[in-house]
Amino acid sequence: MSDIRIAVKEPNGEHTEITAPTDMGLSLMEVLKANEYPIQATCGGMALCATCHVEVLEGPELKEPSDDEAYMLESLPTSTSRSRLSCQIKLTPEMEGLTVRIAAEDY
């Protein structure tokens, strides 16, 4: 079992750190939601609603977004080159030190 630490910046500027397990097949979205961060994740992880939009500020290289995710990110008015849908990021031990900022709601 290996836990990783993830740093999270919220839209209101708050900066916190959480510990997340990597042996449960969780996505970053699920961990953020479980820790009661302000994300809606309405669609439950299907890359459909983009209400789990985060910006990856620091950390190891992540796997490229799938076509579905990339298309969704492209259609968002506020996305940047660092944007990801947290529901599409499966947590692995290599992600120790990941730092993300939760995007402000843009609709």
CA angle in degrees (0–180, nearest 5) for 10-56-21: 80
**Sequence-ordered list of residues with C-beta below 8 angstroms from that of 18, at least 6 positions apart, any chain:** 5, 6, 8, 31, 35
Asked if residue 48 binds another protein (CB under 8 A), the reply is yes
Q: Which residue number, 22 or 65, has a Cβ lying nearer to another protein?
A: 65
- The reply on whether position 78 binds another protein by CB under 8 A is yes
Contact by Cβ (8 Å): 8, 32: yes
**The binder of another protein chosen from 7, 18, 26, 43 (CB under 8 A):** 43
Residues that bind another protein in the complex, under the rule CB under 8 A: 40, 42-44, 46, 48-51, 67, 70-72, 74-79, 104, 106-107
